[in-house]
Structure 1
C-alpha cells in the first residue's frame, strides 16, 4: 500500500469514522489499523481487573492472527499496550490465563472468541475499536453468525473497520447492518485480479507429467544458485504430503502445511520457512492468507 494512501486511511481511522477497505491480501493494511488502535487505546482510561479488551481484531486463520499479534506487539509494547492472541486448534487454558491477566488488544479467530465470551473468560464491555480483517474470508468459512454475535455485544460508541479482498453482497449487507456513515476506500479493483507486478507462466502438461515437470522447474531454480523461498499450492492434503515427500527425496528440505497439522507443527513449519531453515512449503489454502509473502520468490499452483 503506498504510504500517502496509508496515511489517508490512518487519518480516517483517527477521525473516528467507520471504514470499509477493499484491498488485496498483502497490501500492507495491518499497520494502517494497528497504529490508530494504539492511539485510540492511549486516549482511553486504563483497563481494570475484569475489563475486556479495548481493541478487538478478528481474523479468519491462526496464521494471520499470529502475524497481526506480532505487528501489534512490535508497535504497541513501547506504550505498555498488552496484546493477546486467541485462536482455535490449540489448548484453551493458556489463552484463558493470558486473557484473565487483562489486555488492551485482543487478536482472535471468531469461533474461539465466542467460546470465551460464552464462558465469561472475557467480555466486550470496554471494546470501542473493532477490526474485521479479511471479512470475506471469514464469511466464506462460515463465521457470519459468530461475527454478528460478537458485534452485537459491543457498546454503541464503537468504531468498526472492515477489510475485505472483495465486495460481495454478503459483505455489503454486513456493512449496512453494523456500520453507520462508513467511508469506503478501494485499493485497486473491487474484483479479484492478477497482480501485474508478478510474472506468470503457464506450463501445459498431462496429469501424469506434473511431477517430472515440477522436478525440472525446481532443478532449474536451484541451478541458478538463488532459489529463494518457494510456495507450492495444491488442492488436497494428501497431495501436499505426497509432493513434500517427493521433493525431500531429492535432498531438499521441504514441509507440507494443511489443516490436519497440529498447531505446534504449523508454527514450527512457518518459523522454519521464515528463518530460511526450510525454503519450500507445499500447502493447501490454509497458508494462502496470513503468511508473510514479501520474500517469496516462486509460487507454483
Structure 2
C-alpha cells in the first residue's frame, strides 16, 4: 500500500469515458472476459436415477365440472390455456391437496385464496407437466412454481454430501434472485429445506461454501451459476425441477446462450417451467427447444400494462423543465406515499440525488455500482417507508417494484 496507494482504485476520470447500461452498471470493455456458456454434455453416458413428477389428484369438486363450466371459469379468471389435456383450474387451496405443513406456512403468509395464475399453474406443475406461464408482475407466479417444487423435492431421497440441488430457479437480476430466495426460505421452512441464492455482486466464496454444504434449492442468475458449475462448487446432476423466471428480461440482457446451456446440462426428462411477461419469437423458440409437450397459460393480455397501476404521462422538453416539475410536486407526492424516481444512468442518479438533498429532501439512492449490502439496506429502508424518496436507475428501480409487488 505504501508503494502504490492507488492499487485497485478506479480512477475518477474514468467516469467520463464509461457508459452505463439500463441497470446503472458500467458497460465492460470488449477486452473483459465474457462468461462462456457451459460446454455440451452427453446425457446418454450418465445413469440418472428415476424420479416421480406427478403428484396431482383432482379434487372431487373439480371432477364434477363440465367442459362449458371449465371454459367459463377460465374466462372469469382471465386465463387462456392451450396444450394437451390441461388440468382444470382450481378455485381454492383445498383443491391443491397440499399437506398441512405447507398449508400452515401459506396461511401464515396471509394468503386467503389463490391468484388466477396459481389457480391454473399449480395443478399443471403438480401434474409434472412442462409449462409456459405468461403473466404480469405481481400476479403471484413465484408461489405458483415454489409450492409444487416443494412437493416435488420432498418425494425424492435426501441429498448426500457433495450432491447438487434438486431444484434450480434461474432469473435475470440479483434483486429478483434475493426476492425468490426469500420466498423459497419462507415456504421451505415447512420441510426444513435449504435454499441458496447465487448471483453476481455476492461473495463467490460464501456462495461456493453454501453450495458445497448442500441445498435442495438454488436460486441464481445465469452467469454466476455457470461460474460455480465450472469451478465444481456444485453439480446439476440431481436437478429434476428447473424454472426460468422472467425469461424475456434474461434475453434482453444477453443471457440467451447461458440460459440454453444451463437447460442442456440438466437431465432431459426433468420438469421445466418457463415464465415471461411477453412471448416474443426468441422466447417461443427457447420454449420449443427446452420444454416437452408444455401447457401454455396466459393470464391477462400478453405485454399489457398492469391495470392496478394508474399511469399519468407528461412529456417535458428539457432537464430544467423536469426539475421544476418535480420540485413543485414532490411535497404533494411524499405526503400521499412513497416516491420512486427512475433515471437512465448512474451519473444522473448521483446528480439528481445530490440536488434533492440540497433542497432538504431525505432519500435513498440505488444503482449498479453500489455493493450488495448497501443495495439491500436501501431497498429495505424504502419498503419500510424509512425513506420517502428513492432515486434509482431503470432496472434496479423496477426490481424494487417487484419486491414491493
Q: Which bracket does the TM-score occupy, shorter chain normalised?
A: over 0.9
2:304 corresponds in structure 1 to 193
- The answer to whether 1:91 aligns with 2:203 is yes
CA distance in 1 between partners of 2:308 and 2:268 (Å): 42
Match of 1:20 among 132, 145, 162: 132
Cα offset, 1:5, TM superposition: 4.0
CA distance in 2 between partners of 1:270 and 1:4 (Å): 28
- The answer to whether 1:161 aligns with 2:273 is yes
Cα offset, 1:54, TM superposition: 0.4
CA distance in 1 between partners of 2:323 and 2:205 (Å): 43
- The answer to whether 1:211 aligns with 2:323 is yes
Match of 1:142 among 254, 261, 281: 254
Secondary structure, counterpart of 1:291 in structure 2: helix
- The answer to whether 1:229 aligns with 2:341 is no
Match of 1:258 among 363, 367, 370: 367
Q: Relative to structure 1, is the Cα distance of residues 209 and 246 closer, same or farther in structure 2, using a 3 angstrom cutoff? A: same
Cα offset, 1:209, TM superposition: 1.1
CA distance in 1 between partners of 2:209 and 2:351 (Å): 39
Using the size of structure 1 for normalisation, the TM-score is: 0.92
2:376 corresponds in structure 1 to 267
1:177 corresponds in structure 2 to 289
Cα offset, 1:294, TM superposition: 7.6
Q: Relative to structure 1, is the Cα distance of residues 123 and 294 closer, same or farther in structure 2, using a 3 angstrom cutoff? A: closer
Secondary structure, counterpart of 1:290 in structure 2: helix
Q: Relative to structure 1, is the Cα distance of residues 203 and 292 closer, same or farther in structure 2, using a 3 angstrom cutoff? A: closer
Q: Deviations over 1:68-116 (max 9, x none)?
A: 0000111111211000001012320011111111000000000000001
Secondary structure, counterpart of 1:251 in structure 2: coil
CA distance in 1 between partners of 2:258 and 2:379 (Å): 28
Which sections of structure 1, spanning at least 5 residues, go unmatched? 297-301
CA distance in 1 between partners of 2:251 and 2:402 (Å): 23
Alignment of 1:128-139 (within 5 A): 128-139=240-251
Conservation of the 8 A alpha-carbon contact between 2:366 and 2:397: no
Conservation of the 8 A alpha-carbon contact between 1:138 and 1:144: yes
2:235 corresponds in structure 1 to 123
1:299 corresponds in structure 2 to none
Q: Deviations over 1:118-158 (max 9, x none)?
A: 11110011100011000010111111111111111111220
Cα offset, 1:276, TM superposition: 1.9
Match of 2:188 among 76, 91, 100: 76
Match of 1:238 among 313, 324, 347: 347
Q: Relative to structure 1, is the Cα distance of residues 30 and 43 closer, same or farther in structure 2, using a 3 angstrom cutoff? A: same
Conservation of the 8 A alpha-carbon contact between 2:341 and 2:389: yes
Cα offset, 1:196, TM superposition: 2.8
Task: Decide which moves more: 276-285 or 172-181.
Answer: 276-285
Q: Relative to structure 1, is the Cα distance of residues 57 and 262 closer, same or farther in structure 2, using a 3 angstrom cutoff? A: same
Conservation of the 8 A alpha-carbon contact between 1:64 and 1:289: no
Conservation of the 8 A alpha-carbon contact between 2:117 and 2:135: no
CA distance in 2 between partners of 1:91 and 1:205 (Å): 42
Conservation of the 8 A alpha-carbon contact between 1:26 and 1:292: no
Conservation of the 8 A alpha-carbon contact between 2:363 and 2:391: yes
Once superposed, what is the RMSD of the aligned Cα atoms?
A: 1.7
Cα offset, 1:288, TM superposition: 4.2
- Count of residues in Structure 1 that have an aligned counterpart in Structure 2: 292
- The answer to whether 1:112 aligns with 2:224 is yes
Match of 2:176 among 21, 41, 64: 64
2:38 corresponds in structure 1 to none
